[in-house]
């Protein structure tokens, strides 16, 4: 095992797959000459050259469409968005072209492409640079959506995403690129659509994904001091969702709190809460509660950011509620 940063796990996954398969290439804004806006492609231009790692104009619609066309013709593009907030101008290519081409062509054209970059807030970047789009893309048939929370998962899931024959939305965070974690020296892949129980517990199930796993772990640590043992589940993939792992945990703990950065309406936590009550209703000793961002645009002011986003305090309050403790 070796300890590396999240950004290095992303780079290693892309580099290993590009060495393995000459059809894999990387393009996006500043991925080449600048080594990536977040240095996630450090050194890749030097190794693979300008034909396989290249910068694009500031035109997400244009280079996303180029990537879809390349994938339809047998290549495996990795498209980096500097932030998924900028993917909105390319939404037609993501939601219509890449996601629906296999069905609309009667199975003649697959689109093996990965769109990757950061999602959600990254501090004081203002409302237009702080949105979460996991639930948007998860609502689109034909797309797979991956949101890792640590370097180990990021590398294994990204390698699997690049090899997948379907379009994959791979969502990271600016606030996680410097996070460190242990990663095996040798090759490994992690299957998409499989959640992981990160911490065992018997009293309540805490479900989250992406950087909100930090909130879940912080809350679980504090709850343990009060004798409440939380089982913490990392979804890792939000399309498809591993309902089986979540339901098995809830049937054991009889309570569930879901922590998600996105706004509450039509969110991943909404879907999870529905499926838990649909398939494990008789096991519940309390309503399923959600801890989401407040339903407002994220402000620039630090005090408003703190009040808007999910945090350990709100998560602990939710757990105390479902366990009927003050």
pLDDT per residue as tens digits for the range 263-289: 999 999 999 999 999 999 999 999 999
Q: What is the rounded average pLDDT of the residues 162-176?
A: 97
Task: For the chain, give every domain's residue range.
Answer: 2-183, 196-323
Q: Is the pLDDT of residue 110 over 80?
A: yes
**pLDDT, mean of residues 295-322:** 95
- Beta strands in 56-186, from DSSP E residues, in sequence order: 76-80, 114-118, 144-146, 168-172, 180-183
- Residue 79: beta bridge partners? 27, 115
User: Among 17, 29, 80, 129, which one carries the catalytic annotation?
Assistant: 129
Q: Where are the beta strands (DSSP E) in the chain?
A: 2-5, 24-28, 53-55, 76-80, 114-118, 144-146, 168-172, 180-183, 196-199, 204-208, 230-234, 237-239, 256-259, 289-291
The 10s digit of each residue's pLDDT in 7-43 is 999 999 999 999 999 999 999 999 999 999 999 999 9
Instruction: Calculate mean pLDDT across residues 247-272.
Output: 97
Enter the pTM of the model: 0.97
Q: Which of 17, 29, 60, 231 is catalytic?
A: 60
Structure tokens at 154: 């990021």
| Strand partners for 257 | 206, 289
182, pLDDT greater than 90: yes
The CATH class for the domain spanning 196-323 reads alpha beta
Domain at 2-183: CATH code: 3.40.50.970
- Pairing state of beta strands 168-172 and 144-146? parallel
- Which residue in this structure is represented by tokens 């199930």? 205
60 is catalytic: yes
Confidence (pLDDT) at 326: 74
């Amino acid at each position: 095992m070796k300890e590396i940063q999240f950004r290095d796990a992303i780079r290693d996954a892309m580099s290993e797959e590009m060495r393995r398969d000459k059809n894999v290439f990387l393009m996006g804004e500043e991925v080449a000459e600048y080594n990536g806006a977040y240095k996630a492609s450090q050194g890749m231009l030097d190794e693979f050259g300008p034909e396989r790692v290249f910068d694009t104009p500031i035109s997400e619609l244009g280079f996303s469409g180029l990537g879809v066309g390349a994938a339809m013709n047998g290549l495996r593009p990795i498209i980096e968005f500097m932030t998924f907030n900028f993917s909105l101008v390319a939404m037609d290519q993501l939601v219509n072209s890449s996601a629906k081409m296999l069905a609309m062509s009667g199975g003649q054209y697959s689109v093996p492409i990965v769109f990757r970059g950061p999602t959600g807030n990254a501090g004081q970047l203002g409302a237009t640079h702080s949105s979460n789009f996991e639930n948007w893309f998860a609502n689109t048939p034909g797309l797979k959506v991956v949101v890792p929370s640590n370097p180990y998962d990021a590398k294994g899931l990204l390698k699997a995403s690049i090899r997948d024959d379907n379009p994959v939305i791979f969502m990271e965070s600016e606030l996680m690129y410097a996070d460190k974690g242990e990663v095996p020296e040798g090759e490994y892949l992690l299957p998409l659509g499989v959640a992981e129980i990160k911490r065992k517990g018997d009293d309540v199930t805490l479900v989250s994904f992406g950087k909100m796993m930090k909130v879940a772990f912080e809350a679980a640590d504090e709850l343990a001091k009060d004798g409440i043992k939380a089982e913490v589940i990392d979804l890792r993939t939000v399309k498809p969702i591993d309902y089986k792992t979540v339901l098995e945990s809830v049937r054991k703990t009889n309570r569930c709190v879901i922590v998600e950065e996105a706004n509450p309406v039509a969110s991943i936590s909404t879907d999870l809460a529905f499926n838990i009550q649909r398939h494990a209703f008789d096991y519940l000793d309390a309503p399923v509660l959600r801890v989401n961002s407040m339903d407002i645009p994220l402000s620039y002011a630090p005090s408003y950011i703190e009040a808007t986003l999910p945090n350990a305090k709100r998560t602990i309050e939710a757990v105390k509620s479902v366990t009927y403790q003050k």
